[in-house]
Structure 1
């Protein structure tokens, strides 16, 4: 069976079309693993780390091992690991089908996706913190260079969000994205969608991790949004094209959202919200965790209050709070710290999402046009603002 999978000329040709790198056999082995193993399968991860993707696949499918490498691994491990590996082989066996691998590769090519592997220049190293549970490979639609920027802020929350939650998510995500941060979320309804839209709306970067293949828009109502994210950011999954989202895959996907972010912020969540699962992964990885408070009578915010009480989450009420969590400070913040009150008012008046004419900046700040112009000239020299089409916008850095 292994030769049918790895020796297939058609499959190797498909891999070459998806990757610029030349390690075609390893890429095909990892693509095959993404079909066989569920996301976060730690046993598959242990074997691949110890043997490499190709040799781990040979052992998993045909029991073949070189120089007794697997026996040596299992002899020194906890006896439970040997049983887990045996169970893993039984678990992967029903999915062994060369056609499924070829279909996944063709599906990726048809939607313009690429196959990204650990060790690639654009592989997100933050995911390696997941160790044996790190993704075996990533299928990416869009530009993976998006996640090379910092800070990266993971924003999650309720699907059935309230108007308050949507507003806060959009305000925070838009402000952060306008200043150069990457917004990471899961492409779902509610808070996820609000965060993605806000980032796109200010011309910022955003990445969506899916619980199914990148060729499937889920939820269907976000078809247009996910298409825009793929065009201007990146849509990512560790599952191959054609894979359907399931409840356990959403939970597994959450660990990637938490791992890629430098911080995780939960905007709105019920007592048992799946967003708490993402928060738990972030806490386990040692990532800073923030939560937006809501009304004490709101069931939609009960999960956030639980994070504040039980997980030592930091109370987040603005993008400035998130920047503090990131350990970074925007140019706006640095200027404002040392500026006179009029300059602070002007910077607060310029949202960074759209260019504002001078008269509008004056109206929002409560200053005269002459005073606004005098300050804007200095702020432009300092790089805090820049002119756009007859108006002014806050700098993205």
Structure 2
């Protein structure tokens, strides 16, 4: 793969990736501003000052052999991509300007990727479908059908491989023969939950597995929170299918809002606690209500058209790209798939 990144920068980013917690804004922010090499040197110098915030990190830096880390990853079919690589999804750069949630934030210093496909291409036409781990049968059915239809219509489905809505989203995309991206809170060689090992292998074969965390590390609460911003950052928009008022899915929704990208919600029964968070987002006007894949595509297209023109209202001459939106009805009434999604 050709690259615009010099070896020193890549190795510095490998060292940082192996040392810092994903989404540590103190480091990700500095790297975006100064570059990985300067930040690495700054942290190494901090090892001489015990009360410096980077002192503990500095103690770990010297234990990392970045070249060997890359070799070991390659032996497992894992590659490390960084900003400047042709495969890097440039939309992740927007994370540099969205602040922090739960002390996590910033553009990742790099991503560990498993799978033969190109992340830049897959993420260029992607929608995140996320939701409750403790999903109801309604939630898993809606997530599966919505993801199947999105994949059929040419979109990549992004989710987090968790129980419930996430696994239903991945399976729906795979059943349609479409691509899907799993973004993990731990290493791409560490299926989580373990029961999804076969699903993870299927995604790696037909789609991509991505993580900010290096190979070999397991998930933690902090890494889950950091992962959510990558899900939102890769996608053109996010759909929440079931989610309690306090949940990881709602955290991903907040990242989507901070990124000024379309946030959509599938409404649920008013008596269902699993849908309370989604219904609240819709009621407060923070998410648009969607019930079909065509609704999702219309919202994404509308946002893209407004962003392209810089106008508050859609240009009536806007014509959707038939390659990216082969079954789209354009920014008018939903079409192509019935409201019941078959």
Q: TM-score, normalised to structure 1's length?
A: 0.71
Structure 2, unaligned runs of 5 or more: 98-105, 303-319
Alignment of 1:30-109 (within 5 A): 30-62=13-45, 87-99=52-64, 101=66, 104-109=69-74
| Deviation sequence 1:35-60 (CA, Å, 0-9, x none) | 12111122212332333212221121
Does 1:145 pair with 2:128? no
Specify the alignment match of 1:130 in structure 2. Answer: 95
Where do residues 353-392 of structure 1 align in structure 2 (5 Å cutoff)? none
Aligned to 1:197: 171
Deviation at 1:101, TM superposition (A): 4.7
| 8 Å contact kept, 2:126–2:234 | yes
What whole-Å deviation, never above 9, does each CA across 1:226-270 have from its counterpart, x for those lacking one?
Answer: 111111111001111111110111011000101111110000111
Quick check: 1:119 aligned with 2:84? yes
Q: Which of 153, 159, 162 matches 1:179?
A: 153
Larger radius of gyration: 1
Counterpart contact for 2:265–2:290, Cα < 8 Å: yes
The 5-angstrom pairing of residues 280-319 of structure 1 reads 280-310=254-284, 312-319=286-293
**Quick one: distance in 1 between partners of 2:43 and 2:173?**
43
Q: What SS does the corresponding residue of 2:118 show, helix, strand or coil?
A: helix
Find the residue that maps to 1:217 and give its secondary structure. Answer: coil
Summarize the Cα distance change of 1:333–1:62 in structure 2 as closer, same or farther, 3 Å threshold.
closer
Given that 1:183 and 1:205 are in contact with CA atoms closer than 8 Å, whether structure 2 keeps it comes out as: yes
221-230 or 107-116, larger mean C-alpha shift: 107-116
Q: How many residues align?
A: 306
CA shift, 1:217, in A, is 1.1
Structure 2 equivalent of residue 163 of structure 1: 137
Q: Does 1:325 align with 2:299?
A: yes
Backbone CA RMSD of aligned residues: 2.7
- In 2, Cα distance between equivalents of 1:267 and 1:111: 34
Residue 246 of structure 1: which of 198, 220, 244 is its match? 220
Q: Measure, in 1, the Cα distance between the counterparts of 2:337 and 2:135.
A: 27
Contact 1:268–1:303 (8 Å) recurs in 2: yes
2:243 aligns to what? Answer: 269
Which residue, out of 187, 204, 222, partners 1:230?
204
Q: Displacement of 1:91 after TM fit?
A: 4.0
CA contact (8 A) 1:104 1:242 kept: no
How much does 1:192 deviate? Answer: 0.7
Distance in 2 (CA, whole Å) between partners of 1:99 and 1:200 is: 37
1:270–1:303 contact (8 Å) kept in structure 2: yes
Whether the 8 Å CA contact 2:237–2:261 is kept in 1: the answer is yes
Partner of 2:316: none
How far residue 93 of structure 1 moved from its aligned partner, in angstroms, is 2.6
Q: Name the TM-score, length of structure 2 as normaliser.
A: 0.82
Are 1:24 and 2:7 matched, yes or no? yes
Provide the C-alpha distance between the structure 2 equivalents of 1:87 and 1:172, rounded to a whole number of angstroms: 49
Which structure's residues are more often helix, by fraction? 1
Q: Report how far residue 315 of structure 1 moved.
A: 0.6
Give the direction of change, closer, same or farther, for the CA distance of 1:87–1:143 in structure 2 (3 Å limit): farther
